[in-house]
Amino acid sequence: MSETTVNQLATHDSAHEPTATGERADLLEALAKHRHFLQFTTRDLTDEQAGRRTTISQLCLGGLIKHVTAVERAWAQFILDGPSAMPDFTTMTEADWARRADEFRMLPGETLTGVLADYAEAARRTDELVATLPNLDATQPLPKAPWSEPGARWSARRVLMHIITETAQHTGHADIIRESLDGAKTMG
């Protein structure tokens, strides 16, 4: 996949979308930067390369993008619907965890183009939500999960910072995977 194709998938027609300003624009700019670098790690790759594990980790580039897409989509929905937008992680079975593990790899029939297009659509929806959300201070109780503090609530702002952090963290993973694949680096 060429760099031009990656850039085309990373951008969308903003002529008909609300414009974010102030803090919202800053949050979206930070998220856009990390999205760009994550997608950039897939430049010039085939579907097979995007699905290849290159380290001891189970992660691959296509799987990382699928995971970040799922995370962004779930947390954006959480802003609107609260914990019902996510599973109760404390009751998940081994089969549930196995299905969740599929978001970390390219499955048969999945393409890098398709994964990137899905990510671009999730990004568009998040950007629209951030631009139109009445209040970044509105909170929701966290979903049940072993890593969630009981009774904790997150504001929409905190959720957006989490999405940015998650994207940035996985962008670093992607850079290592890509360098292990063929020596290409995101920066440097």
Q: Is the pLDDT of residue 167 over 60?
A: yes
Query: In the 8-state DSSP scheme, what is residue 142?
Result: P
Averaged pLDDT for residues 149-163: 96
Q: Would residue 82 be called left, alpha or beta, if left means φ above 0 and alpha means ψ between -120 and 50 degrees? A: left
Averaged pLDDT for residues 92-105: 90
pTM confidence score: 0.88
Please check whether residue 155 is in contact with residue 137, taking contact to mean a CB–CB distance below 8 angstroms.
yes
Neighbours of 172 (CB within 10 A): 14
5 versus 71: which is more confidently predicted? Answer: 71
Neighbours of 137 (CB within 10 A): 9
Specify the DSSP element, H or E, that contains 158.
helix 156-182
Q: Is the pLDDT of residue 4 over 50?
A: no
Taking only the tens place, the pLDDT of each residue in 33-58 is: 999 999 999 999 999 999 999 998 88
Averaged pLDDT for residues 175-186: 93
pLDDT of residue 89: 85
Q: Is 67 exposed, middle or buried (0-12, 13-18, 19+ CB in 10 A)?
A: buried
86 versus 8: which is more confidently predicted? Answer: 86
Please check whether residue 177 is in contact with residue 64, taking contact to mean a CB–CB distance below 8 angstroms.
yes
